[in-house]
Structure 1
Amino acid sequence: MIRSIKRVVLATLKGAVIVYLMVVAILFFMQRELLFHRTTAPPMLNDASLVQRREIVCLATADGLNLRAWYFRAARPDARTVLFLHGNAGDIGNHLPFARFLIDAGYGVLALEYRGYGGNPGSPSEAGLMDDARAGFAFLQSQDIADRGIVLFGESLGTGVAVAMAAEYAVGAMILRSPYTSMPDVAAEAFWYLPARWLVRDRFDSLSKIARSKAPLFIFHGADDALIPIRLGQELFAAASEPKTWLTVEGVGHNDVQTPEAERAVLDFLAGLPPGPPADAMPAALPPMAACGG
């Protein structure tokens, strides 16, 4: 009887271990599909007022990809241009409403679309998204916009790209919506029952990079964020250099953090920055769209 019970217990434990290892393997090999939960069809801009102001531009990456992005020129010669780095899901069509308040305020916006998203070629990865953002900088430089005339705006996943770019370029400012310390830290929160921290390939280690940026920083985070806990954003903020500003948005989570209050605070932050470099009176010609197939 005892031997029979032992055999059942051992068989159950063996089965549980096999299932556990299978879950670990599935998550490891599918992690990029989970992290880069994207739309692959060309994005839609369902806003007639913005369609007239949008220019579809072609960005050339260092590894040979040609990416379509959406460009909205600054309405004022003294206004900075925002490099908008969206979150992990959907495409720029889903995320552009989060940049609408900046466009309406007269700021320029280059809404970057990543590789593998929104009909663009390639497959997303941490290194790939960094190359995509660098292509965005190259485009803005071709438009005679100095690095200190650029503001980085990263949301969620895009905050990791923004922090890395702020460590490389002397930008005018950086705005982070719901940021994290690193992707392993986020994975450890979501999959606490797995060795997730050691399985993550695309690490987006913002915590180790943010102090290298000397640009004025504004972070806002939802108090009830269940996807990226607010303490991760606070830890990142603590590691950042001055000058920096923090806003806790009470009563909201991850997806509804960009309230009118938060947008007003972002605009106040931008208005309080030192004057940016003068814009060129004659913008450079846009790259030919033929390179992007259209």
Structure 2
Amino acid sequence: MIRIASTIAVTLLVVYAGLCLVLYIFQRSLMYFPQPRADVPGTEVIKLNSGDADLNITTSQRVNSDAVLYFGGNAEDVSLSVADLVAAFPHKAIYALHYRSYGGSSGKPSEKSLVKDGLFLFDEIKNKHANITVIGRSLGSGVAIQVASQRKLARLVLVTPYDSVQNIAANQFPIFPVRMLLQDKFESLEFAKKLSVPTLIIAAENDEVIPLKNTKVLLSSFPREIVQFAVLPRTGHNSISGSPEYIKLLSGI
């Protein structure tokens, strides 16, 4: 009986270790879901080489000193978000970055590469635009907040942001040692403490991907005097931009 129990225990341990190994190897396939780029009327695509990747950026150009730089979610075609951004910022130039392997950009996505490309694009458009508002949605909120920690922005907007991807993943996979396995942790709350840029955080009341409690943990990390917080009622993680209040909030910054 003891031998049978030991055999079962060893088998379960081996299976568990195997599952941990699979999660470690394929974790980025579970985090990043590259999307093709749609051909959106009224926009154009510019191509830039960041040094180790060819990046596509969907833009809506304006002759103005102000610009908006947008980082999207992990399964988002950012070209489809440009219309909302134009509606909110009709007099500003819009730049939406297609992450590596998204929308025709080359390379493979990772936290390090996304932040590197975000900083690169910011520096590129800074040559043309004196005032840049950076917007990050969902996964992109982690990119935006790291860019904000290293560059001088006019404004920062975070839509459905998390405190850290590590905490979200640990909640989703509670039986696995996620904190040991995860490579791209996106510890946004650590960067929030260092910011001084005026910031707007927009959360969904019924967010089924990033719990509101995690967004509030991030909120508590910001210096209180720089942050504005809004929860849009009856919205979810993917439906928040369909709320009439969404464009109003963006337009009001």
SS of alignment partner, residue 201 of structure 1: coil
Which is higher, the Rg of structure 1 or of structure 2?
1
Contact 1:59 1:67 in 2 (8 A): yes
Structure 2 residue 168 is the aligned partner of structure 1 residue 186: yes
Following superposition, the deviation at residue 90 of structure 1 comes to 4.2
- Residues 116-265 of structure 1 mapped to structure 2, 5 A cutoff: 116-143=101-128, 145-146=129-130, 149-241=131-223, 242-258=225-241, 259-265=243-249
Aligned-partner Cα distance in 2 for 1:101–1:240:
27
Contact 1:183 1:200 in 2 (8 A): no
Aligned-partner Cα distance in 1 for 2:240–2:6:
48
Following superposition, the deviation at residue 193 of structure 1 comes to 1.3
SS of alignment partner, residue 122 of structure 1: coil
Q: Which residue of 2 aligns with 1:73?
A: 61
Structure 2 residue 25 is the aligned partner of structure 1 residue 44: no
Aligned-partner Cα distance in 2 for 1:266–1:123:
31
Following superposition, the deviation at residue 10 of structure 1 comes to 2.5
Aligned-partner Cα distance in 2 for 1:103–1:83:
12
Paired residue type of 1:57:
I
Q: What percent of counterpart residues are identical? A: 27
Farther off after superposition, 156-165 or 227-236: 227-236
Q: Which residue of 2 aligns with 1:56?
A: 45
Structure 2 residue 5 is the aligned partner of structure 1 residue 14: no
Q: Which residue of 2 aligns with 1:292?
A: none
SS of alignment partner, residue 94 of structure 2: strand
Paired residue type of 1:87:
G
Paired residue type of 1:110:
Y
Gaps of 5+ in 2: none
SS of alignment partner, residue 68 of structure 2: strand
Contact 1:102 1:109 in 2 (8 A): yes
Contact 1:92 1:112 in 2 (8 A): yes
Aligned-partner Cα distance in 2 for 1:161–1:73:
23
SS of alignment partner, residue 207 of structure 2: coil
Aligned-partner Cα distance in 1 for 2:207–2:125:
33
Following superposition, the deviation at residue 35 of structure 1 comes to 0.9
Paired residue type of 1:67:
L
Contact 1:74 1:103 in 2 (8 A): no
Following superposition, the deviation at residue 37 of structure 1 comes to 1.4
Following superposition, the deviation at residue 16 of structure 1 comes to 1.8
Contact 1:188 1:197 in 2 (8 A): yes
Aligned-partner Cα distance in 2 for 1:218–1:185:
22
- Please provide the CA RMSD for this pair: 1.7
Q: Which residue of 1 aligns with 2:72?
A: 86
**TM-score, structure 1 as length reference:** 0.79
SS of alignment partner, residue 208 of structure 1: helix
User: Matched residue pairs, number?
Assistant: 249
**TM-score, structure 2 as length reference:** 0.92
1:27 maps to which of 18, 23, 30: 23
SS of alignment partner, residue 24 of structure 2: helix
> Which runs of 4 or more aligned residues in structure 1 lie more than 6 Å from their structure 2 counterparts after TM superposition?
none
Aligned-partner Cα distance in 2 for 1:70–1:227:
26
